[in-house]
Structure 1
């Protein structure tokens, strides 16, 4: 392509920092491979033959495609393009994560963000199966994961608003032995936390309902069917103003929320960029 532009092997060689004999040999080998003459040569210059003129736009297109592909590849390596698959606990997916995703997209509009909300057990399984790059969840119980803590989320008592239990005063965990208990699903981080707190408080509470969705928990409480213990950050997901919360003490229990990833996996550049951004804005 440069030979056609310069009309001279010697000028092309100087521009490309290639010796004229080497350039001439390359052109000759190309002509032999194609079986056509690409340049007419004389003592002063070279000019494209009709075959060369037919080949030139193809070479220009291939060169442009290569440049474009190389540019996209470089952007992927730099983390400014690509795809990031993030898992999160439902309370986080509806809480702090959307704002972080929005601010990241402003900085990196070419990065596709996929968000999947699951309970903690499903998040760790999905990471092991490499279906997720990152998960915003509670701490893992295996050293195959790396965990960056972000925040503490205190457990609170959730009761019907305006009822006898809506006093605003701190409550002991023993209250769950005295009233119908609405529990979260066994594989959830919330259930693990409530079970641990009740064991420490020596409280035997019988769960009348096992719920997967927080909205269901909220509806049952509003209907006066029971009470529960939830992390404070989840209250926004209970939908409705007919619930109230009280601090839980003896013991005070908190869950840690952070970002988990596989220890033996190198994150894609875009995922690494999102991790750094999220840790910065969420702390």
Structure 2
């Protein structure tokens, strides 16, 4: 008599697959249809498996097919084995995918110019075989890219919409970079009503930051004057340093170090904060490589360095 291990040595995956089809559907005919084989071929494979194991796996009658006790045990073990194999194959595939592949992401200019480089550098060190493509876009264009699936995900501002999923990574307070001739006695903060009385330097209307700031002004019945608007934060900083007005900036975009011409003042009364998030379509699943990039965003984006 064969030992269990000796019997299993002759069992191949094809026989187990056929056995699972019969066992799960309780029918040789349906198993044959799903396997795209003849019913007699399926019956032959089951008999071959039973002979190899030395036990009957099914009770057969003219009307129905049912599992024996041994058959039920084998079906349970086979299901577990298939699940483990699928899990192992998935891990292997994910490991291969993350070593080679392609990621496309969209990012707001303020983040691309300040925080993104260290994330990309860390990713490239770990996964040099993955190609990464970055699109630096305004919020409106960014959302359209996500909507059209032109990118795997975006990193930008949270807005009120049910179309996208937002995973907030960073809270970014708004500041005013105020020429010293306008700042008066202020050293660290400036109230929104006081700020509204100054000439303001703003990003263009396509930016979510502009909409956030104007919404705050409207909610407090405040008017403002702005002769200039720009698409790049660096332009706002240059204009503020030249004394042309107070530039409205997120904290991540503030120039480092002391500035002889302008002071960075936190906007208060009320404080204004934008949320920055990983943006995907609702229900969208990321590739392993893109998921790893998002993990690095979580780890590194919140640090000031």
* Shorter-chain TM band: 0.5 to 0.7
Indicate the RMSD between aligned Cα atoms, in angstroms: 2.6
* Distance in structure 1 (CA, Å) of the matches to 2:198 and 2:301: 37
Q: CA deviation at 1:210?
A: 1.9
CA deviation profile, 1:122-166 (whole Å, cap 9, x unmatched): 110111111111111011432221111111111112112x43416
2:144 equivalent to 1:165: no
2:268 equivalent to 1:268: no
2:168 equivalent to 1:123: no
- Number of residues of Structure 1 aligned to a counterpart in Structure 2: 211
Q: Which residue in the other structure is 2:231 paired with?
A: 212
* Distance in structure 2 (CA, Å) of the matches to 1:104 and 1:215: 27
Q: Which residue in the other structure is 1:114 paired with?
A: 133
CA deviation profile, 1:54-83 (whole Å, cap 9, x unmatched): xxxxxxxxxxxxxxxxxxx94786322111
How does 1:72-151 map onto structure 2 within 5 Å?
Answer: 74=93, 78-151=97-170
Question: How high is the TM-score relative to the length of structure 1?
Answer: 0.67
**Long gaps (5+) in structure 1:** 1-16, 18-72
Relative to structure 2, which stretch is displaced further, 125-134 or 175-184? 175-184
* Distance in structure 1 (CA, Å) of the matches to 2:231 and 2:109: 10
On the 8 A contact 2:158/2:276 being kept in 1, the answer is yes
2:222 equivalent to 1:203: yes
Q: Aligned in 2, Cα 1:280/1:220: closer, same or farther, shift over 3 Å?
A: closer
Q: CA deviation at 1:93?
A: 0.9
How does 1:1-283 map onto structure 2 within 5 Å?
Answer: 74=93, 78-160=97-179, 162-165=180-183, 167-236=186-255, 242-283=261-302
Relative to structure 2, which stretch is displaced further, 133-142 or 162-171? 162-171
**Long gaps (5+) in structure 2:** 1-11, 13-91
* Distance in structure 2 (CA, Å) of the matches to 1:128 and 1:215: 29
